[in-house]
Amino acid sequence: MLRFLQDEEFLKLGSEELHQLELDTFTEPLKSANRAWQCRPALQKDGIQAKKMLISEAYAACPASESVNGLKLQQAKLQRTHAWRNSFMSGNKLDFDVLKNRIDKRVKSLPCKQHKNCAHLLESTADNLFLSGAMTFIAQTDGLQETLSEEESARVLLAEDGHTDGARGMLHCGISHYTCRMLRCTFSGHLPVGVEQKPGSLWLTNSTSFQHQALHLPSTDESRFCAFGEFAACSISTMIRNCFFPSARSVIGNRTPAPQEAFHAVTDTITTWLIEYGASLQLPTLEAVQEEHSRLVRRTSAVEAAPAAKRRKPKNN
């Protein structure tokens, strides 16, 4: 499965193709702002320069899932990961239906159930609500080393900002395509816990309930990194999230999305569901993901061919 997910056509783009990518669906000033977000020229951490790129994608047919923190979500670039998500959702449909029914029951009992965010929760299907959009993070940290001492192997090359996710992280699925990093998790009242992330690592959690921080580490194992465009030894991971609160999201600072009663009801429901069902969720088979990937490719080809067909004039007999 890992080899299949790593074999994305998008990850094979050359430098020239990569630099031609633009968010052309936006008008100014959002167009420039989004481009700056999608391709950050450089990050400086402790004197070490790292390049980082962010690709946003929509998976569900839900208008509210087409943006993340002001970023327009593009048509899926990593179609194999998209196929994995669809297969994971369909293979666990009954369990996700249980979660949706529990959320509906809690929200309907709230005095604020008429709020537009509550209406969105109640009107959306499970497939359009859960794991409906993704952000793929591509970071170059110069992590590939020829030799490493025991002391050097523990040196952090890039410490990303520690944070607690907003409402989009209430059901958060992380997939590591290529990486050598440690996820430092801090729960209230407990010492931090380090969770190793390597190619093929997968986790499903409620990331609004604890602080977490990605720490990029060096390695002599070249299979843990990927070249992307002109960027060598990159770490690539996809974070699949949701759109529970499309309005009044409170993405700035540590504010809670409105209405707060609904936010707490949903996050508590998801946490309980993860405890009860998380360990029994089934991972999709390679055959199922390959079949779904073929379907997505056919659909994309049909969409791309449609404008050309409309422009084509009928021949005179």
Tokens of 50: 């790292």
Query: 116-123 and 93-108 are packed helices; what angle lies between their axes, rounded to 10 degrees?
Result: 150
Integer Cα distance of 282 and 89 in angstroms: 10
User: What CA–CA distance (Å, rounded) separates 110 from 118?
Assistant: 9
CA distances from 130 to 55, 97, 154, 214, 244 (A): 19, 10, 36, 24, 8
Is the distance from CB of 79 to CB of 300 less than 8 angstroms?
yes
CA distance 308 to 287: 33
Whose CA is closest to 242, among 216, 269, 212?
Answer: 269
pLDDT digits (tens, 9 = 90+) for 217-269: 999 999 999 988 778 889 999 999 888 887 765 544 456 777 889 999 999 99
Asked whether the beta carbons of 49 and 158 are under 8 A apart, the reply is no
Predicted structure pTM score:
0.85
**Quick one: DSSP state of residue 74?**
B
Q: Which residue has the higher pLDDT, 283 or 46?
A: 283
According to DSSP, the β-strands at 231-241 and 172-178 are antiparallel
Q: Which tens digits make up the pLDDT trace of 41-62?
A: 444 444 445 567 777 777 876 6
Half-sphere exposure of 168 (CA within 13 A, CB side): 23
- Token digits of residue 282: 């089934």
Q: What is the pLDDT of residues 292-316, one digit of tens each?
A: 999 999 988 877 676 654 545 544 4
CB 48 within 8 A of CB 141: yes
